């Protein structure tokens, strides 16, 4: 029998609702992102965005999937990591639906969901994953029953670095796509701090140095070009070491920054050198959305995991390697 899972995502600025079947078919994936007029994301404003738009997006996702609410067999929600107020709003909506529809509730780790939706799409069994987004920068591989973090940022995430850089250069949010467009026009490479420490990396020094280049009158396109080449080169170095060390033969690129074509090009080169298969998650599944939560809900449900409403408090600091992976 086919199961239908409603997945609800709302860890940060985006709210998403998606329906995925137990066979791994994505039937719908509705989504909306809060775009602040200026400055960064305020958690309270983002949570208000989720409570205002969430119910409508959920209705749309059910309708677009061609099913009815009574067909839903389980409700999955992103329990963490993320911003407390956003997580609480999302969890409240999920709990209410689970009680109202009298179906099980499943809690999902947002980072694990980014990896597993990539595995569903690529049919990878056991990849080294480069997970890059506004809040996370991690190189992950499965070992000893958990997704282990082999390397990560010691300060800010790469997507955040690109968003802040864009803001400093007078460009709107989200900055990643605009930096990518500008970088294509750049041709002069400026040295920026290349900061890899063992398997970890750091981006804040580069951000400061890039801002300084701007104040010295260097063109925006050359700054974006230099930032991309340096920051992606650092990621490629630790991803390459993770592949060499684990001897895994699949390399997966996931998270919102996976939409970047230059990063994709660099990492596919790394995979080729190590005779590994490469996959970049397609743009509609790369960023934060409900389908990845729904798919992880299915995987967990099949492995016997569900959560009682009274135990379902949110986990803002839930790490990728904090969860025993029962379905692998």
- Which residues of the shown chain bind ligand ATP in the complex (CB under 6 A)? 11-12, 14, 110, 133-136, 159, 162-163, 174-177, 180, 255-257, 259-260, 287-288
Residue nearest to Fe ion (CB): 288
| Closer residue to Fe ion, CB minimum distance, 133 or 300 | 133
- The span from the CA of 62 to the CA of 73, in Å, is 12
Whole-number Å distance between alpha carbons of 175 and 207: 13
| Distance of closest approach, residue 258 Cβ to Fe ion, in angstroms | 10
Least separation in angstroms between residue 93's CB and ligand ATP is 18
CB of 158 to Fe ion, least distance (A): 12
* CB under 8 A, 24+ apart: contacts of 321-327: 321/146, 321/147, 321/148, 321/149, 322/109, 323/109, 323/112, 323/146, 323/147, 324/145, 324/146, 325/112, 325/142, 325/145, 325/146, 325/147, 326/300, 327/299, 327/300, 327/302, 327/303
Burial (CB count within 10 angstroms: exposed 0-12, middle 13-18, buried 19+), residue 228: buried
Query: Considering the complex, what minimum distance in angstroms separates the CB of residue 174 from ligand ATP?
Result: 4
Q: State the binding partner of 175 from Fe ion, ligand ATP, none, CB within 5 to 8 A by kind.
A: ligand ATP
Comparing CB distances to ligand ATP, the nearer of 284 and 303 is 284
The least distance separating ligand ATP from the CB of residue 239, rounded to whole angstroms, comes to 16
Interacting partner of 116 out of ligand ATP, Fe ion, none (Cβ under 5 to 8 A depending on kind) = none
Give the span between the Cα atoms of 322 and 160, in whole angstroms: 23
Q: Binds 16, which of ligand ATP, Fe ion, none (CB < 5 to 8 A, cut-off by type)? A: none
- Closer residue to Fe ion (CB): 240 or 288: 288
DSSP-based three-state secondary structure for 151? strand
Instruction: Considering the complex, state which of residue 59 and residue 181 has its C-beta at the smaller distance from ligand ATP.
Output: 181
């Amino acid at each position: 029998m086919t199961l239908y899972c409603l997945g609800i995502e709302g860890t940060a600025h985006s709210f998403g609702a998606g329906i995925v079947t137990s066979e791994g078919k994505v039937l719908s994936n509705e989504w909306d992102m809060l775009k602040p007029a200026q400055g960064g994301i305020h958690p309270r404003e983002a949570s208000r965005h989720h409570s205002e738009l969430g119910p409508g997006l959920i209705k749309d996702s059910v309708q677009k999937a061609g099913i009815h609410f009574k067909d839903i067999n389980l409700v999955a929600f992103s329990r963490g990591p993320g911003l407390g107020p956003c997580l609480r709003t999302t969890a409240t909506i999920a709990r209410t639906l689970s009680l109202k529809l009298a179906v099980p509730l499943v809690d999902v780790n947002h980072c694990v969901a980014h990896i597993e939706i990539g595995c569903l799409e690529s049919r990878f069994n056991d990849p080294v994953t480069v997970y890059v987004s506004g809040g996370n920068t991690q190189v992950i591989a499965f070992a000893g029953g958990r997704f282990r973090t082999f390397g990560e940022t010691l300060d800010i995430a790469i997507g955040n670095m690109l968003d802040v850089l864009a803001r400093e250069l007078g460009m709107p949010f989200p900055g990643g796509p605009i930096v990518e467009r500008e970088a294509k026009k750049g041709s002069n490479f400026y040295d920026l701090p290349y900061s890899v420490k063992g398997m970890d990396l750091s981006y804040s020094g580069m951000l400061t140095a890039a801002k300084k280049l701007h104040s010295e009158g260097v063109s925006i396109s050359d700054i974006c070009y230099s930032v991309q080449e340096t920051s992606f080169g650092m990621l490629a170095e630790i991803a390459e070491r993770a592949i060499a060390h684990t001897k895994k033969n699949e390399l997966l690129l996931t998270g919102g920054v996976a939409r970047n074509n230059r990063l994709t090009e660099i990492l596919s080169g790394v995979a080729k050198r190590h005779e590994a298969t490469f996959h970049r998650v397609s743009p509609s599944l790369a960023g934060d959305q409900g389908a990845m939560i729904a798919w992880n809900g299915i995987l967990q449900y099949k492995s016997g995991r569900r959560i009682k409403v009274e135990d379902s408090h949110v986990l803002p600091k839930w790490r990728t390697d904090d969860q025993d992976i029962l379905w692998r």
